[in-house]
Structure 1
Amino acid sequence: MSLHAYQQARTFSETPRTTEYRLISEITSVMVRARDAGLAGVALMPALHRNRELWSTFSTLCLHDANELPVETRSGIVSLALFVERHTSEVIKGAETVDELIAINRTVMEGLAMPPAAPVARIN
């Protein structure tokens, strides 16, 4: 089976949660490897760039009215994205480490790995 066929099959079988988990996992792994290789500050830019893009995308998606996540969850994601943006700048300056960004991603991954909550019944 060709790589393209495998990727196409995966696209059809993955849920959005699984896709988000996989993407965050890949990006987090890159940051961990960069950190473990002793990279810091500007040298972390390639690893941090994808993480910054990921959180920017999550934030943008949460701002759309069509997003079906609860408002509290959406605002929490936007707040996290703003924190990630600010903290990333501090990591690049060498004023902070990448560890907190890794911890945030891992916490989100733990949440995505849990079964989704059952829908709440609405009483009209």
Structure 2
Amino acid sequence: MSLDAYRRVRTIAESPRATEYRLMSQITGEMIHARDSGLSGIALVPALHRNREVWSAFSSTCAAPGNQLPNELRASIISIALWVDRYTSEVVAGRDSIEDLITVNRAIIDGLANENLQAA
């Protein structure tokens, strides 16, 4: 089976939460790899950029009219996304560590994993 065919099947079979779990796991893994490789500051930008993009997408989705998540959850996701955006700038500038971003993502991954287990 070609890679494109596999991706199409996965897209059809995978729930939105499973997709979010997979994406957050990949991005967090990239940040962990960057940290473990001793990268800091501007050298972290590739991994941090993907993380910032996904949080921006989560925020935009939560702010969109018709989003059916509970209001409190939507507000929390938007708040985290705003924090990720600000904090990422501090990490790139070398004033903070990537560790807190990894910790936040791991908490989200754990929540998505628990939700996926309950749905199964």
Alignment of 1:1-80 (within 5 A): 1-80=1-80
2:107 equivalent in structure 1: 107
Moved over 6 A (4+): none
C-alpha separation between the residues in 1 aligned to 2:4 and 2:44?
30
C-alpha separation between the residues in 1 aligned to 2:115 and 2:50?
26
Structure 1: runs of 5 or more not aligned = 119-124
Structure of larger gyration radius: 1
Which protein has the bigger helix share?
2
Task: Return the offset for 1:53.
Answer: 0.2
C-alpha separation between the residues in 2 aligned to 1:115 and 1:51?
21
1:121 equivalent in structure 2: none
Task: Return the offset for 1:64.
Answer: 1.1
Query: CA deviation digits over 1:33-63, x for unaligned, max 9?
Result: 0000000000000010000000000000000
Question: How many pairs does the alignment contain?
Answer: 118
Instruction: Normalising by structure 2, report the TM-score.
Output: 0.95
2:88 equivalent in structure 1: 88
Structure 2: runs of 5 or more not aligned = none
Task: Return the offset for 1:110.
Answer: 0.6
Instruction: State the identity as a percent.
Output: 54
What is the RMSD of the two structures over their aligned residues, measured on CA atoms?
1.3
Instruction: Normalising by structure 1, report the TM-score.
Output: 0.92
